[in-house]
Amino acid sequence: MNNNPLKIMETVLRDGHQSLAATRMRTSDMIPILREMDNVGYHALEVWGGATFDACLRFLDEDPWERLRNIKKYVKKTPLQMLLRGQNILGYNHYADDVVREFVFRSVDNGIDIIRVFDALNDPRNLECAMKATKDAGAHAQGALVYTISPYHKTSDFVHFAQDLIDMGADSICIKDMAGLLSPYAAYDLVKTLKEKTSVPIEVHSHCTSAMASMTYIKAIEAGADIIDTAISPFSGSTSQPATEPFVYSFAGQPRDTGIDLEKLHTLADYFRIVKSDLTTTFNLNTNIPVDPKVLTFQIPGGMLSNLLHQMKEQGAENKYPELLKEMPKVRAELGYPPLVTPTSQIVGSMAVLNVTLGRYKMISKEVKDLVRGKYGRTPGPIDPAIKKMIIGNEEPINHRPADDIPPQMEKMAQDLAATGYPEATTEDILSYALFPEIALAYFGKHRCENPICPNNCK
Ligand code: CO
């Protein structure tokens, strides 16, 4: 029986606006409220990682490292948390160990206290390097179980994976339910079993996409979950997390009282309501995303359904959309039941689109070949032998840790960047360049030039 105060991880500065405002919240929107947020008594603030790094450089003309340092200036008491995609860091393919390690060290050095590490396939070998680096850097290493439903994702499979992560040094475990598929009773069973079999704190991260998440959290808390991820009300609901306030209110005076003052949350909510409406106008966003319980049947994350429909329309094949919805789960099963999260969601989704528009497996992307080759790691279930043969013939798939095949990259990146005109680049700049070369160079072009009378006034 868990009688500790329920802890709250606030996601508005990362997942909240990534889910509802296309990751467009700017550092200047955050700074005026950070001191107040620091005084709430949150377990942690999620502020970095996921899509925020890319979005800073690509859309907001911001240096993501500078954002992190800025936030740290105002948040003195509350730990800062980030989301890291294991060996993919924050990009879409595998990087060499030296890049992963340096990235983790620089993140911690610039202000991160807790790193949540996950891998799209739940292959422990893909988390190994990031977890070890996090421990070595002195930060809290949280291992995440990417939640999905398949014959290869039973409670026992997740517990087994959690134990692998704890063996690697995980200080806590997160159940990461990016698509909102975790049902209240499944959550109860999974959390209860994890609490029985392990001794680390258990955190639950879900999305309201299917409209189940609040019920799921309550059952998870009853089963002994230590921490839940919520977003302050204006950035909660639909494809984001459940709202923070109702949990604080519901547990007030109960054995697991959060100790958080609801009044303080109202102040935050008033502030972020204005931020949201400002972002909606400035970036012409649709922040009014409806819940879609269809995700429960198709297991396709909400945002992805609309992307796929858009792709089909562009190819003039929207009449095949109902076929696509049937094709997705079929492709997913044939490719070994990967959870649908970046980057596997895109890989499986595009394959299904090609299958219904051009004929099954008539055209195969490099990413699908790589997935079948084992370049992303071990798929949860076996790949259909006939499909495997069709895609890679008699080629022997790799069965070692994929990153073992990638030679060190940091020095080469530094040299490339020096050759492009940035010999004085910081390690942070080199890492930005390693992850997103084109957009990093475009940013440096504007902000790192040596011109004393720079028209962009970058000095
Ligand atoms: Co999320």
- 305-333 pLDDT per residue, tens: 777 777 788 888 889 988 998 899 999 99
Q: Same structural domain for residues 166 and 69?
A: yes
Is 106 a domain residue?
yes
| Tokens representing residue 225 in the block | 């979950």
The mean pLDDT value for 139-159 works out to 97
CA of 15 to the centre of ligand 1 (A): 6
Cβ pair 132, 105 in contact under 8 A: no
Is 299 a domain residue?
yes
User: How many angstroms separate the Cα of 323 from the Cα of each of 84, 181, 210, 309, 363?
Assistant: 34, 22, 22, 11, 17
Q: Same structural domain for residues 395 and 420?
A: no
Cβ pair 275, 233 in contact under 8 A: no
CA of 201 to the centre of ligand 1 (A): 19
Greatest C-alpha distance within the chain: 66
What CATH number has the domain bearing residue 385? 1.10.472.90
Q: Same structural domain for residues 362 and 215?
A: no
CA of 341 to the centre of ligand 1 (A): 10
CA of 459 to the centre of ligand 1 (A): 36
* Number of separate domains in the chain: 3
Q: Is the pLDDT score of 459 beyond 60? A: no
Q: Same structural domain for residues 394 and 432?
A: no
Q: Same structural domain for residues 340 and 433?
A: no
Q: Same structural domain for residues 352 and 436?
A: no
- Contacts of 124 by beta carbon, 8 Å cutoff, 6+ apart: 161, 164, 165, 168
CA of 245 to the centre of ligand 1 (A): 18
Burial class (CB in 10 A: 0-12, 13-18, 19+), 407: exposed
Task: Answer with the residue of higher pLDDT: 343 or 372.
Answer: 372
Q: Same structural domain for residues 82 and 175?
A: yes
The mean pLDDT value for 331-346 works out to 91
Q: Same structural domain for residues 194 and 317?
A: no
pLDDT in tens, 350-403: 999 999 999 999 999 999 999 999 999 999 999 999 999 999 999 999 999 999
CA of 10 to the centre of ligand 1 (A): 12
Residues with CB under 5 A from ligand 1 (ion): 15
* The pLDDT of residue 450: 66
Return d(Cα 375, Cα 88) in angstroms, integer: 12
pLDDT band at 303 (very low <50, low <70, confident <90, very high): low
Is 455 a domain residue?
no
* The pLDDT of residue 444: 94
Above pLDDT 90, what percent of the chain?
84
What CATH number has the domain bearing residue 202? 3.20.20.70
CA of 395 to the centre of ligand 1 (A): 36
* The pLDDT of residue 309: 79
CA of 207 to the centre of ligand 1 (A): 6
Domain residue limits at 430: 409-447
* The pLDDT of residue 294: 79
The mean pLDDT value for 194-210 works out to 97
Is 458 a domain residue?
no
Q: Is the pLDDT score of 431 beyond 60? A: yes
Q: Same structural domain for residues 155 and 17?
A: yes
| Three-state secondary structure call for residue 208 | helix
The mean pLDDT value for 196-206 works out to 98
- Least Cα distance to 268 among 227, 230, 233 occurs for 233
Q: Same structural domain for residues 86 and 40?
A: yes
CA of 236 to the centre of ligand 1 (A): 12
Q: Same structural domain for residues 58 and 108?
A: yes
Is 183 a domain residue?
yes
CA of 73 to the centre of ligand 1 (A): 25
The mean pLDDT value for 116-126 works out to 97
* The pLDDT of residue 310: 78
The mean pLDDT value for 1-27 works out to 95
pLDDT band at 451 (very low <50, low <70, confident <90, very high): low
Cβ pair 435, 90 in contact under 8 A: yes
Return d(Cα 397, Cα 378) in angstroms, integer: 10
CA of 388 to the centre of ligand 1 (A): 31
Q: Is the pLDDT score of 168 beyond 60? A: yes
Is 457 a domain residue?
no
| Three-state secondary structure call for residue 309 | helix
* The pLDDT of residue 452: 60
The mean pLDDT value for 163-186 works out to 97
- Rounded to the nearest integer, the mean pLDDT of the chain is 94
pLDDT band at 337 (very low <50, low <70, confident <90, very high): very high
Q: Same structural domain for residues 268 and 153?
A: yes
